[in-house]
Amino acid sequence: MPIPRYAGYSFDLDGTIYLGDQLLPAAAMVLTQLRTEGRRIAFLSNNPTRTRAQYVAKLRGLGLHAELEEVINSSYVMVEWLRNHAPGAPLFVCGEAPLIGELQAAGFQMSERPGEIAFVVASFDRTFSYRKLQIAFDAIRAGARLVATNPDRFCPVPGGGEPDAAAIIAAIEACTNVRCEVNVGKPSPMMAQSISTMLQLPPTACLMVGDRLMTDIAMGATAGMDTLLVLTGDSSRADLATAPHQPTYVAESLAELVV
């Protein structure tokens, strides 16, 4: 049965549009067709190790059309959440340079002084160290709040994966006995709201397309979007049996979107 057309489409990136540095089959054709029809497009990523501008550069480098106003990543949602709840607050970030740079550009001050840190931001951090854990520990014991960019346990890479933000969050929670208050990445409703705002469409007019049942499909389903699971990345048909949120559609590749 053909998948009906929607006014807006939200595409996860890694595992859906590309894998590592390789464009996945049919991605370019599908995006070109949807744009020709006037459909609105958003690109999503839980990965905060690239800025939105860097995602645009990567997509263009793979031969795809992309604009900054079409890209949402967990760094962007974290910046927006902090702007709304604690503008200019001093932060300690267990994260990499792109995330720190985006927070600084939004007016947030970085600090390593536990008594003045308002929020510890846990994220995907391949530079995580015992020193960072100690500062986070001391800051939280002094009253800082723990928030996070994304809940992913691992980041898929060709041939395997890398431990992701969940590992950093768990380390901080384990030593402080404090739970992370807010996690803004998929499947958070905060990221879903960012999609609706960016596309200027209600959730019911959008299709969420992704390769992960626990993030992409769960977020779309709880936000009221129809969802498409593509079997080009993390989740398989076998995983559907135990998934708490079932996709509206399942496809072997993106090509089935425009059949």
Q: Binding-site residues for substrate, please? A: 45-47, 186
Compute the distance between CA of residue 70 and CA of residue 95 in angstroms, rounded to an integer.
24
Query: Residues within the annotated binding site for Mg(2+)?
Result: 12, 14, 211
> Nearest Cα to 218, choosing from 55, 5, 2, 12?
12
Question: Does the annotation count 216 as an active-site position?
Answer: no
Question: Are the CB atoms for 245 and 217 separated by under 8 Å?
Answer: yes
Interacting residues of 77 by C-beta distance below 8 A, sequence separation 6+: 149, 184, 185, 188, 190, 191, 194
Pick the catalytic residue from 14, 216, 226, 234: 14
Distances in Å between the Cα of 199 and the Cα atoms of 140, 152, 202 are 37, 25, 8
Query: Residues within the annotated binding site?
Result: 12, 14, 45-47, 186, 211
Question: Does the annotation count 14 as an active-site position?
Answer: yes
Tell me the DSSP string of 150-187: ---SEEEETTEEEE-HHHHHHHHHHHH-----EE-STT
User: Which DSSP category does 216 fall into?
Assistant: I
Catalytic residue IDs? 12, 14
